[in-house]
Structure formats: structure tokens, C-alpha cells
Structure 1
Amino acid sequence: MDADCVAERAVSPVTGVVRWVVVDARSFDLHTEAVAFLASLRARGCSPNTERAYAGRVALYLSYCRIWRLDWRTPGFLDLARVQQRLIETPVQRRAGQARPGPVRYRSHGTANAIMTVVGEFLRFGAVHGWVPADTTALLSQPKLLRFTPPGFNTGESGQRRQIEAAAFRFQTTEPGYEDLSGEQIRGMIAAAPSCRDRFLIALMACTGLRIGEALGLHRGDMHLLASPRAVGCGVEGPHVHVRRRTDNPNRALAKSQHHRFVPVTADLVALYTDYQYERDRVAVAGESEMVFVNLFRPPLGRAMSYPNAKEMFDRLGRTVGHACRPHMLRHSAATRWLRDGVDRDVVQRLLGHASPLSMEQYRHVDDAEARAAVERVSFLTERP
């Protein structure tokens, strides 16, 4: 499908700040309403990755509307259902500059659901500003009675809160589960990493459970790695890392949590950071940056390491070690290990920076050994003294 609307990076010639916009692929005119929607994401403090993903999804919806000669403001129920179905039936376009075409890929039901969620947000945003009629937004949800509720959910005295508004355009999907890494796999990743910087980044995320945005957003002043905090005027005992949400990082790395927290670190992690500092000191311009993770091997040297740089590093590492190496897997691995080792859930919640205890449910994985031990523990075929 030739897109009529596309998402593009827009770089300010004055400040160098990167924004995402939606433009007409033929006239290069900005799509005013879509650009306003993306600006609202920035105003809410959403991450650059969220803005980039939303830009592409809105552009895809607008392209479908133009091809089918629909007014994007007033799609009917069947029009939105058609968009939903086309998302999984249309091959994903090959990226510009890709060397080889590769196999034809199609979107999963889960990906289609994510796109339709953004379409719904875009239309609701338009309704708030008077661009989209209320009749359109009324199509986006339908009443649903919750048969099962999450732990801690208050259904009300007579169960009145069991009825919620659910997305009308959503495929039924199976929970994919979450992948974590064994200790042996993580140690293999650290050993295979080509630089001290990359080894420290992997170990930091595996030992502290930091998100990739939190790690890339660290400033050197956040690294309180001395045994005594008095030298840096900090009241936290022992070596630790401070995680702060900043909206002005040069690489636009953003901590998801609004609340400042600190995470203790071990002596082994401090040693890896020391190795990285020796490596960093050999690149003179790196000393000018206050960011912890910077470019050391490719231009622009000394600039804060970006998320695409980190993703490329993890992709290369995955090919080297022969298994998936996504940054968030290290966070899941840390949380799973803590819970499996009996660390109090409140402590794990604080270390991960979760506001709600319900967010912890996704991290408790039962491995094969635990399942087998449980069955053998109650087996009536085994004689017990």
C-alpha cells in the first residue's frame, strides 16, 4: 500500500530537538490535527518512542482513509471494522533502505489492537477539540461485564463497577507471556559484549531492574558509588544509583516513573563502572557530557547514547549469543529473580519504581523446576515416612 500520509522526524534547525510529525506524502503539507495530537503527547511527558510509534499509527489510519475516500473524522462502524481487518491482511511495508526484501510479514492481532487503540485516542482527542463528532467516538467502546477482576479491584457494594467500557475494535488475543533470561544467559551477554560501556549497561539493567530509558537518562551525578555518602552530600548509605525523571535530556531518554527513587548496587557493578570510566576517558570529548552513557566508537563522539544506538547494540549481541536480547528482558529477569528468591513484594515494587502493586503480577514466572517440585510434593504414589 502506498501511504498517502507518513510519519517523519522533524529536527529544529535552532535547538536540534527532534519531534515527530505526520505529513502528506505528495504535497509535504503537515496534517494539522495529527501534529496537534502528537504535540499533546509531548505535553503529557510521553517518551520519544511513544511519540514515534503513535505518529506511524496515526499516519497509517489517515492513509487508509484517503485510499478509501473516507473522511477520517466521521468513519462509520463498518469503516473502522474494515480498518481493523486490513491491518492484519495487508503485508507490512519494507523499510526504506533495507538491503534485501526478506519474507513477507503481516501484523499480529496484538499489533493491530495497539494501532486501533491509538486511532481511538486520536479520534477522542479530535472530539475534545471539536474536529470529530460525538457520534464517532461513541462507536469506539461498548459496555462489558467483568467476570473476573484483577487482585485488589473494588467491584462496589452491589458489583456495579463490574460493568466497564471496553474497546469495540479489538481482536481476542492470547497473553504472550514475558521472557526472562537465566543467570547463565546474562553472564554470557556480559562476556560477549565488545566494550566496557556495553558490559556495564547490561550488568546495570540486570542487577537493578532499570528500564532502558532510565539507564540512558542517567547523569554522572546520579552515580553515588562510594561506600560513604558523605562525600557527595547524600543521606543514602552504601553505593547506589539515583533514578530521576528529566524532560531535558539531550537524547530524550525519559524515566517512566514520575517519582525519584534510588537503587542499591553491588561492588561488582561498581568495578564494571570503573572499567567503563577508563574506556571513556580515552575519548576526550566524552568528558564534556554529563550523561553516563555516551558514544565512544562512532560519530558523533561524546554525544549521549540514544535508544536506537542501544537497540542496535542489543540486536548485534543477540546474533552473537544466539538468543533474544531485548533490554526489557533484563528488567523482567531482575524482578523474577527477586520474587523467586523471596524478596518482599513491597521491596521489589519500590526497586522497580511501580506506583501500583498490580503491576507486579506480570513478573512472577513459574519455571519448569518449580512446577515439577510442586507436583512431586503432593504425589500420592510416593511413599512418605
Structure 2
Amino acid sequence: MPWNRPSFFELGRFAQWLVTEPLPPRGSRSTAVRFRSKKTANAVLTTTFEFLRFGSGHGWVPQEVVDPLAEPKYLSFLPPGYEPGEEDEFRTIAARTIKFVVADEGIEWLQDGQVEQLLELLSRARDRFLVALLRCTGMRIGEGLGLRREDMHFLSRSTTVNCQVVGPHVHVRRRVNPNGALAKSPFSRWIPVTEQVVDLYADYQYERARVSEAEQTDMVFVNLFRPPLGRPMSYPNAKDMFDRLARQAGFPARPHMLRHSAATCWIRSGVQPDVAQDLLGHASPSSMQPYLRATDRDKRDAVESTAARRRETR
């Protein structure tokens, strides 16, 4: 099959292959069989179809290949933040014809008690600081691993380093980092931190000082327990740590769940969405929509509190 002339049937077979073909094992010792999720398959299909459309625009792919990939769809119910236009001219969109139906599972987050359990299970100061920092600030893991020591302003005043922000805080900046970590947003921001985070950072600095190789880099998170010592901590390092932690705790624990935990806690505590949006580094207000949804606890509390008031008025 020529790459630029796939039939609609062949693209459908490719979609099925994406979810039925086993993925390579993680590591040489792993025996677990893994498959792509339908959500991941949809992302691959989106990239594939956009590439074909790009090729069509340059004359590499026939238009008859691209035409069946989408069909008009009228949006009766608009997604949050979607602008339909003054005369509803944007209600009709081009909908993909080949895609998997994926249920909206909502966001996954950890309760405060679960976060405390994770901290208790960790024996290394570096790892405890990483978990507490992600939970406190809502950073993405790439933002955390990309931090430099110059970003950690943990004194009550930071005027000595030409920073006018009052109180302990951390700066998130987008840079090219040796470990490949990258802040998603191109805009820098600062995030306040708690006394607990400051204390855990001091513990980590004491632990780090015992590894002379760590002084060769300004990156905050570095390898202290396995070679190459002093090298900036990478995504696989962090994932391995969280995987081990999840097995010990007996529940899922991933870096992004700590981000969701911070955002959910802020919103549930009455923090205005625009403030939470700024703390998280989201460019669009619509990105906050998942955190504004009612939780299972919210719905149960609503029913039970209403029933209690009805009993009181009888």
C-alpha cells in the first residue's frame, strides 16, 4: 500500500491494529502484556489524518483519500468555552469518521490522607520533597524536573536575588534542560509554597550535600543513589519512583495526580478559578472545567444535607 494512498478500509484496519497489537515490554525483565488505550489510539489517528491533510495541501496525497476522513456534524450541545459565532456559524464542525468512543473518566486525584501516606512511605529526602512540591504547587512533572536551584526562593524576602515576590515561592521557567524536562507553558510564573515544602527542601539539601557529584549541576533534582551520580533526574527515574511508591501504597500514584490534587483542593476551598488557572499555568479558562465538576462527595453531600433540612422542618 503506498503511504499516500491508503483506502478508508485500510485506515480502519490500522485503527484496530493500534488497540490489538501488544506494545513492547517495559524493560528486559517485564513480562506484562500491554496494549494502547483507545484514547492513545485516537491521538495516533489524529496525527495520521492531519499528516494526510498536510500532504493533500501540497499535492502529495490525492484529495479522494482525505475527503472520507471527516463529515459535517452539528453541535447541539456546546463544549465549555466554545464560541458558536453570532449566527451559530461555528456549530457545524468536521467530525472524524474513524475514531474510538472513549468514556469521559474525569480526573484522577489523591486525597490529603493518601498524599500523607505516600510521604510516610518514602525514606529519601529528595523523593519526599518532590512529592510534596508537586502536591503543593500543582506543577507538571516536567516543570518540577526542570527546576534550577536559582528558582527556589525559600526565604521570607528574595530582594537579594532581585526578586520582589514576598514569601517563600518557586519560579517556573521554560528552558532547554539536559534531562529533557520541559515546562509546557512558554510563560514564566511563580507559585507560593508552604512551610512543609521549605523544611523538606532543607532536608534534601543536607542529603544532596553528601554526594559530591551533585555539586556539578544547578538542577534541583539529581541522581543521588545510582550512577551516574549527580546527573539531572529524568522522566524514567521519576516514573520508576512513582511506580514503586504506588505498589507500596496499594493505590495508583502518578505525578499528574498530584497536580490534579492541588487544583481540586484549591477549587473546593473556594479559590477563584482565575487564580487557580494562574497557579497551574493554564492559558485558557476552559482548561479549568474538569476541576469545576461536582465530585461524588459533592453530590452525596447535596442529597444528604437537603434530606437533613427537610427532616428538621417537619
Task: Give the alignment's TM-score, normalised by structure 2.
Answer: 0.93
Report whether the alignment pairs 1:356 with 2:264.
no
How far is 1:100 from its partner? 5.4
After superposition, residues 11-30 of structure 1 pair within 5 angstroms as none
TM-aligned CA distance change 1:96 to 1:308, over 3 Å: closer
Could you report, residue by residue, the CA deviation over 1:22-64 in whole angstroms, capped at 9, with x for unpaired residues? xxxxxxxxxxxxxxxxxxxxxxxxxxxxxxxxxxxxxxxxxxx
Residues 116-125 or 287-296, more deviating: 116-125
CA shift at 1:295, angstroms? 0.6
Secondary structure at 2:311's aligned position in 1?
A: coil
**1:198 paired to 2:103:** no
Aligned alpha-carbon RMSD (Å):
1.9
1:130 CA displacement:
4.6
- Judge which range, 210-219 or 151-160, deviates more: 151-160
| 1:78 alignment partner in structure 2 | 9
1:327 alignment partner, one of 244, 247, 255 = 255
**CA distance in 2 between partners of 1:218 and 1:115 (Å):** 31
**Separation in 1 of the partners of 2:234 and 2:82?**
38
Whether the 8 Å contact between 2:221 and 2:232 is mirrored in structure 1 is yes
Please name the residue that 2:210 is paired with. 282
Following superposition, the deviation at residue 267 of structure 1 comes to: 1.6
Aligned length: 313
Q: Distance in 2 between matches of 1:366 and 1:71?
A: 49
The structural deviation recorded for 1:111 is: 2.7
Q: 1:164 aligns to what SS in structure 2?
A: strand
Name the aligned partner's letter for residue 267 of structure 2: L
CA change 1:189–1:231 in 2 (3 A) is same
Pairing 1:271-310 to 2, within 5 Å after superposition: 271-310=199-238
* Shift in Å, 1:79: 1.3
**153, 158, 162: which is aligned to 1:229?**
158
What one-letter code is carried by the residue in structure 2 that aligns with 1:161? F
User: Which residues of structure 2 form unaligned runs of 5+?
Assistant: none
The aligned residue for residue 198 of structure 2 is: 270
Work out whether 1:123 is the aligned partner of 2:56.
Answer: no
State the distance in 2 between where 1:302 and 1:331 align.
Answer: 27
Aligned to 1:369: 297
Please state how far the C-alpha of 1:364 moved relative to its aligned partner. Answer: 3.1
Q: Structure 1, residues 293-349: CA drift from partner, whole Å, max 9, x if none? A: 011111111111100110010001111111111100000000000000101111100
Number of the residue aligned with 1:26: none
Name the CA distance, whole Å, in 2 between partners of 1:100 and 1:344: 45
1:213 corresponds, among 142, 147, 163, to 142
User: Which residue identity lines up with residue 72 of structure 1 in the other structure?
Assistant: W
Q: More relative contact order in 1 or in 2 (CA 8 Å, sep 6+)?
A: 2
Query: Which residue does 1:253 correspond to in 2?
Result: 181
Task: Tell me, in whole angstroms, the C-alpha distance in 2 between the residues paired with 1:243 and 1:162.
Answer: 38
Could you say which residue in structure 1 is the equivalent of 2:306? 378
